[in-house]
Amino acid sequence: MGGDFKGKCIDKLDCACRKHDQDCADERGCSAVGDRKLVRTALLVSLTTRSAALSAKAKLLAAGITAASITRSR
């Protein structure tokens, strides 16, 4: 399962999303640990980036993954 994760990341949030996608490509699906890593990075990006648009995206991503995390079986 999964795609090609060899492309270059455009920023720290993109790299974190790719790592999460790799985790989710597991035949058992996404993991709560992978979710927490992505949320942690997204919150860090939201607080440290100079881009208001990237900060908003990172906050939205963190909220969405936090909500989805409660559904994980691994």
Long-range contacts (CB closer than 8 Å, 24 or more residues apart) made by 32-39 = 32/69, 32/72, 32/74, 35/65, 35/66, 35/68, 35/69, 35/72, 36/69, 38/62, 38/65, 39/65, 39/66, 39/69
Tell me what the pLDDT averaged over the chain comes to: 93
User: Which pLDDT tens digit goes with each residue over 53-71?
Assistant: 999 999 999 999 999 999 9
> pTM here?
0.90
Where in the chain are the domains? 31-74
User: Which pLDDT tens digit goes with each residue over 22-57?
Assistant: 999 999 999 999 999 999 999 999 999 999 999 999
